[in-house]
Every structure is written in C-alpha cells, then in structure tokens.
Amino acid sequence: MQGFGKHEAGSSDTRAPVAPSTAGTRRETPRPAPAVPVGSGPTDATRQLARSPLLAAKLYADVLAWPVAVLGAEAVVTCGEILDITTMPSDLGADVDRVLLAEGFPTPIMEVRSLAPEHPRSWAFVSASARGDHDDLLTAFAVHKVDHFGDGAYIPLPPSPAYVRTLLRWVTPPSLGAEARRLVSWERLAAGICRAVGLPVSESPDWL
C-alpha cells in the first residue's frame, strides 16, 4: 500500500514506513509522548486525536496503552508486541468491517488517503498482535492487496501527516471508554478478511 512500505507476498513487513519526515532524510529515535495535559471529556479527547499529533500520542499511550512515541511531529506506533496493523483497499475494508460488526467485533480503522489520483484510498485495521506465523494465509491475502505489519514495524497514526501527499484519519476511532484497551485478535480479523473474500475459515481454538 502506498505510504506503508513495500511488501513481498506472504510476508509481514517489519520495516518502518517510508516517509519524508521519518525515513530517508534523517535517523531519529522515537521519544516518549510528552507529558501534555489532555482534556477531561470525550469531546476534548476526540479533538486531540483529530488535530494534534503530540496530544494524540499522549492519549494513545496513556488511555489505550499503545506503544506510541513521538518521531519528529508524528505519533508513531510500534507493532508486534501489543498490536498489529493490517491494510487493504478501502472497498474491501468496508466489507471486512461489516463482517466484524455483524459478529460483534468492532475495531479501530484508519484511512490512508493519497492526494495522488493514481493511488487509491486504503484502510488500516488495528488488532491485537498475531500469534505465530501465518505465511500461507498472508500469501493468499496478498492477492487481494492485504498487507500485515507486525514485529517491530513503525506506523504513523492520525493525525500525523505521514507523507507530504498522504493524509491519515480515523474511519472508526479507537474507543476511549471502558473497552479502550480491548482489541480484536488478529486471527479474528483474518477470519473476517477470509469471509469477505471467500476464503475458507478455520474454526479451531488456535485460530480464533
């Protein structure tokens, strides 16, 4: 997906996203989110997620317990230990979202929108980190332009301007309420992708 690095079929990309502000121009170690006071109400929190990368990073780290740091002026999450990010074309993403919602598994989704017309919009699903290897499944997913980021990949989060010509926004923002730290499992997300594209789904406990 444009904006989130290059992939080989059947592999989980562990490299940092290639962006003018984070790669290729300088090497910078992500630093912890600053101790900036956040608003006291849901409206304030929603505004911070939408407007300020620094305040958003504070919310991601403190409220959601996501491994988010600040790189330049961006809020960047490290995948692999707590959460993974899986990207796909937006039309497929809408189908997967409907499957997950029908099964009672809402999940945070962000949109990656390029200002270049040749690059379509993509959706990025946030899930708990995958357990074990799923190389065969990722190979099957690659046909549908589904990419998985885990095991140390650095991914910018909204409202960070990941690229000069790319915009990030939440389609489904992460919950900041009682269920704030609960994420759908990657295996459950993968099952939703399988159902959306017509692949067989394993119902074994190890899978779900």
Whether pTM exceeds 0.85: no
**Who contacts 34 (Cβ-Cβ below 8 Å, separation ≥6)?**
54, 57, 58, 70
Instruction: Output the pLDDT for position 180.
Output: 67
Name the nearest CA neighbour of 24 among 15, 12, 32, 33: 15
- Judged against a pLDDT cut of 90, whether residue 183 lies above it is answered with yes
* DSSP reduced 3-state for 138: helix
Q: 41-60 pLDDT, tens per residue?
A: 444 555 556 567 788 888 89
The burial class, CB within 10 Å (0-12 / 13-18 / 19+), for 182 is: exposed
Q: Name the pLDDT band for 71 (thresholds 50, 70, 90).
A: confident
Token output for 137: 């499944």
